[in-house]
Each structure stands twice: as C-alpha cells, then as structure tokens.
Amino acid sequence: MNLEKICDEIMDSDNDITLVAVSYRTEFHFKEREGIKSLQTREEIEKSLADASLRWVTRRSHRTLGEPLYAMAKYEKAKRITASLGRYGIILCSVLPNSDAEQIANKLINLVKKHHIS
C-alpha cells in the first residue's frame, strides 16, 4: 500500500487540511501543508497515531452501534478527524479550526472506499 500517495490524495482533497498522518500495519507516513506552522513534532504525530489506533479498537467494540465511520475532536488550534484505513490502518487528519470537518470526514471515507481498502 502506498501511504505517501494516500496522504497526497487526502491533502489534495481539501485546502483546510493541514496534516495527514496514516499508518497501516507497521508502515507510517505523514504530510503537512506547506506554509502552515506545524503544531506537532514527528514524534508527537506518531504518538497521536498510536493513541488514535487504540481508541479506534475500543470504538469497534461497540457492535450494537455498527461500524465506526470516523471520530472528530475539536481543539483550540485545530480539529482532528480519525478514520479507519481498512481493518489494519488509521488516518489522522488535522484541519483548520473553522473548517467543515464533517464534510472532510466524508471525503476521507469516500477515498478509502475508492481504493477498496478493507
């Protein structure tokens, strides 16, 4: 799986996306929007991905609600969207605080479906 290509495609899908980080099995890749000051170091991004993966496993355990599609959190300086990259991966996406995060989350889901990742 080409994680760099997936990051590029996600980043290109919306100008409000400031960071995309993707992990799949043991691979990891991230991309930040040029010209925007980074809010996290590489190590913090990797830790965020690991934490998001653990939370995603917990969300998947609530079977009566169905499969989770995405999760969002709003922080002072950004909104964060988490979505599944198939069964063994996770997408973490930071967007501008005033963006339409739900619309961006739907783009992420459609991208994953387009690539037939399961």
List all residues 6 or more positions away from 58 whose beta carbon is below 8 Å from its beta carbon.
none
Q: What is the largest CA-CA distance in the chain?
A: 43
pTM of the model: 0.88
- What confidence category does residue 104 fall into, taking pLDDT thresholds of 50, 70 and 90? very high
pLDDT digits (tens, 9 = 90+) for 76-94: 999 999 998 888 889 999 9
Q: For the domain that residue 74 is a member of, what is the CATH number?
A: 3.30.450.30
Q: Which domain covers residue 27, as residue numbers?
A: 3-114
Tell me how far apart the alpha carbons of residues 111 and 113 are, in angstroms, rounded to a whole number: 5
